[in-house]
Structure formats: structure tokens, C-alpha cells
A and B are shown apart, each in its own frame.
Chain A
Amino acid sequence: MSIENPIFRTEDLCAYYGDFMAIKHVTMSIPEKKVTAFMGPSGCGKTTILRCLNRLHELTPGAWYSGKIFLRDQDILEMDPILVRRKVGMVFQKPNPFPTMTIYDNVLAGYKLLGIRLKKEEADRICEEALRKAALWDEVKDILHRRGTFLSGGQQQRLCIARALAVNPEVLLMDEPTSALDPKATLQIENLIVDLKNTVTIIIVTHNMPQAGRVSDYSAFFYLGELVEFGPTAEMFTNPKDPRTEEYLTGKFS
């Protein structure tokens, strides 16, 4: 299936940990301003490929890639990883606000840690905007100068989303963002993902198929490092083309 004007396009992407090939010859296109879900059983490589997209994969000792990953027209494997990560933000499995910083500073961490000086009004505006986008503003607007770690797990995760959004990334990668959260917080994050897709392209790794069904427009199913199937979520869930996808969706293995 072909995607018009994809934001990400991989060509024969392979990712390795030493001798182990975790991603095998993946060629795929990710549509812009949509939510794409990466699904698959544990160890299928979905997190690995997500971490290729912002070059975090290479931080693991012994990890390397082959192939190409285009962000629009630029091969990010040829770019400075720092520039890639400015354009491709990430939210992690466990909420990880910086424990030494206030809520306010956490949101602005993308600027402060880089030593970019903002005017007070500018900083306030970016902070409020990011927190509003992350649906956290109303809960924290009076406690901006408390530590980020003081918040509940779900609030911390939305704080991390705000932190990623504050630097205006083109793509937001989410690595099982709700797996450490309770059902209510999970629902809030899911609603937030649906709201955000107008402003930013989202790629979400999830273990949870109903969640993929609720939030994503497109789905990719990985199995043992291979991309088995890619297509509109509704189509894949109702009419999977590959027997392995069908077996996974019907719970024959997980």
C-alpha cells in the first residue's frame, strides 16, 4: 500500500545488537499528521524500530543499523543525531520527569538543557501552550514551581508529553506510554493522542490491541523483526491479510 507524502520512509532498514539482527529489511512509509501504531508480540522489534527513528538505538552498546530512514527527504542516519532528536520527540514507557527540576523547568527542559535563553514572557507562553496541548495546564497551573516528581504517574506522563511538545517536534514517538499507568490515566493519554494528531505525527508502540484500535489510523504489525503487515487500522483489524496478523489479533499468541 502506498502513502502519499510520508513523513518517514524506511528503505531496507536493518537494526542490530552486535550480531543479533533485531529489525530485518523493513521498508515502510509513515503518513504525516496521523497516528500510527506499532504492534507485535514481545521481542518483535517494535521498540527497536521506534528507537531507530530518533537515533536512540545507537546508544545501546554494540547497536548499529543498515539501510536508510528518510525524514521527508533527509536520511537521518546521515544527519547529526542531535538535530534528528530536535525534530523527533519521544515519550517513554515509564514517566521520567527530571527529578531536580520544577514542573515549569521540566516543560522547558528542551531549551534550558541546551542553554537557550528565553525571555520570561516567551518561556511562560511556551510552557502554557505545551501544558495545554498535553491537557495538564488546569491541573498544574498553580503549582508550576513544585517538583515534577511530586505529580501522580499519569500527570508525570502528560508532563513528559508537554516536555516533548514544547520544542515543536514534527513527530512524537511514544513507547508504550500507558503501560505503567492506571486505567483512568490511560484513558486521558489516549484522548490526548487523538487530540494531538492534528498538530503532530504520532507513532505509538503498544502491547494493547484495543488501544491501538482506539487511537491509531494506521497500524504496523511486526513479528520476529519483520514487518508483516501495514495498513489502515480499521482494515487490518477487520480483514488482516497475513495469517500471522490474524493469529495475533485473535489472541492465538502474544
Chain B
Amino acid sequence: MNNTNNVRYQWRRTKNQIILATIAVLAIIPAIPLFVILFQLFQKGISSLSIDFFLNLPAPPGEPGGGIKNAIVGTFIIVGLASLMGVPISIMAGIYLSEYGKESKFAHLVRMCADIFQGVPSIVIGIIAYAWVVKPLGKFSALAGSVALAIMMIPVVVRTTEEVLRLVPNILREASLALGVPYWRTVLKVVLPTGMVGVTTGVLIAVARIAGETAPLLFTAFGNPFMTYNPLEPMNALPLLIFNYSMSPYEDWWQQAWGASIVLITIVLLLNIASRILARRVAGEK
């Protein structure tokens, strides 16, 4: 009797270990592609990285050297402009949903639109920006690219802002109101600062997301082999450069596309890491 119990116990233990091992393996599998991609990127692209690569403009085909300075600067300008347009609107909409609209029909409608918008393919958003900006202005421009990216980031930031502000404890709102502070001041001076770290995290995640977008830029910012700081001109961006170079027939451009990919993925990873550190700070404060 005792013996059979022991056997059963051993079998249960073994089963437990088998399942644990299976789960561990399954958990590692999704992480493998990330590391393979990173490994391959660095293996192929590291050789193109040099100071000149960052500081020089693209060289004409056939000429050696050349860098991606215009694309790096362009990415920062396009993404910066997009954030300038998208973030204030999104934060205000998020404040509206969390503090004013709450359970109203209109708020539900706004929420639903934001959620649907998150699922709209980015190429479609590119077409919208083409119709709204490129057509009326009569030419491709960085501004049009920024509009497309702003449209992409708005739903993300609206929803995260709302979620984060909802987490601000109600007793803080009441503490402020009980001091005779009007509601709008309470929202601006108590609720928003308390949720600020979370809101910033949401913005960083959204920026990281749009920084790597290619499709919305294809027929908006278009790309430009020259240096420009004018947002009304076509402008280069890292994803566009990678796309154009990898489609080109020149081997040294393929090489540079790998290098540019490293730069782009590093920017995106850094933004993600920064948002994680901030998010951890939020969790730590609770």
C-alpha cells in the first residue's frame, strides 16, 4: 500500500517536471526570433557602422562611402513633428474620456473609434495623408508623413492616457475638490501630474511604434537623397532609406541598409527600454 502510494507520488512529480520543462521550452521559443534577428542584423550590418556613416550624406550609386545622416535627421524631424501634432490632442482626448466623458454615450463612441483606428492598416493611413496633405499641397513633404504618423499614434496615446488617469485614486480628486479647487484645476494640477509618468510611458511607446513605420511614409514623406530640414519638402527617413536601399541593385547599398536597420532598431529599443523603466517607476510608487 505504502509502496504504491510512493510510486504514484513519484509519477506525479515526474509529470509535474515534464510539464514544467515543456512550458519553459514553449516560453523560450517566442524569444528566439528576436535574438536571431538581432544577431543577424549585427552580423551583417556592424561593418557599415562608422562615424562617417552617421555624419555623411548618401553617395551616388557606384561611389564608395556615403552615410545616412539625412535619414537619421529626417526620422527625428518627421517623428518629432508627428508627436507635436498628435500628443497634445491625444492627451486632451484621454483627459476628456477619463475625467469628463466617463460612461457617456459620446465617450463610448470616441473609445470605439480609437480602438477601431488602432486596427487600420498603416498603408491606408498613408493614403489618407496623401489625400489630405500631399494632394492639396501638390507635392510630397515631411509634413504629410508627420500627419500620417500622428494619426497612427493618436489612438494609442488616447487610450493609454485614459487608462493611466483612471488609475489615479479618486481620493486625490476629492482631496483637491474639498479644498475648494475647481474641477478643471484639479484635473490639471492633481490628476495629470499624478499620472504623468504613465502618460509619458504611453507617449514613448507610441513614438517607438511610429518611428519604424514605413508604409505611411512611402507616398507622403517619399524620401530624398539630399539633406533637407524643410518639412514642406520630401524628406528621407530611416525606414524609407532601408526600403529603397534594399530594393536597389547595388550591393553596397544593401550593406548600408543593414547598418541603417541597426540604427533604427536601436532607437526603437531604447525608446521601449525607457518606457519600461518609467513604467516600473509607476508600479514602484503604488
| Chain A interface (Cβ < 8 Å from any Cβ of B) | 54, 56, 59, 61, 82-86, 89-90, 92, 94, 96-100, 109-110, 112-115, 160, 163-164, 167
Contacts and interface: CB of A to CB of B under 8 A. Distances in A.
A113 B172 contact: no
B180 A110 contact: yes
Nearest to B175: A96
B53 to A, nearest CB: 43
B249 interface: no
Given A92-B174, A113-B185, A115-B185, A100 B194 contact: yes
Interface string B91-105: 000000000001100
A115 B182 CA distance: 11
B283 interface: no
A113 B193 contact: no
Q: Secondary structure at chain B's binding surface: helix, strand, loop or mixed? A: helix
A113 B189 CA distance: 6
Given A90-B174, A96-B172, 8 more contacts: A82-B181, A85-B179, A96-B169, A98-B194, A109-B176, A110-B180, A113-B190, A163-B175
A99 B179 contact: no
Contact of B185 (A54, A84, A114): A114
A175 to B, nearest CB: 10
B172 A110 contact: no
A84 B102 CA distance: 26
B112 interface: no
Contacts of A94: 171
Contacts of B196: 100
B177 to A, nearest CB: 7
B228 interface: no
Contacts of A160: 175
Nearest to A84: B180
A164 B178 contact: yes
B176 to A, nearest CB: 6
8 contacts: A54-B178, A82-B181, A82-B182, A90-B178, A96-B169, A109-B176, A109-B179, A113-B189
Contacts of B200: none
B255 interface: no
B246 interface: no
B285 to A, nearest CB: 7
A20 B137 CA distance: 60
A109 to B, nearest CB: 6
Contacts of A83: 180
B224 interface: no
Contact of A92 (B102, B103, B175): B175
A125 B180 CA distance: 21
Contact of B178 (A89, A97, A99): A89
What are the 10 tightest A-B residue pairs by CB atom distance, in nearest-first order? A86-B180, A85-B180, A90-B178, A96-B171, A110-B179, A113-B181, A100-B193, A96-B175, A113-B189, A82-B180
A99 B285 contact: yes
A110 B175 CA distance: 10
B185 A85 contact: no
Contacts of A163: 175, 179
A212 B194 CA distance: 35
A98 B175 contact: yes
A94 B172 CA distance: 10
A92 B180 contact: no
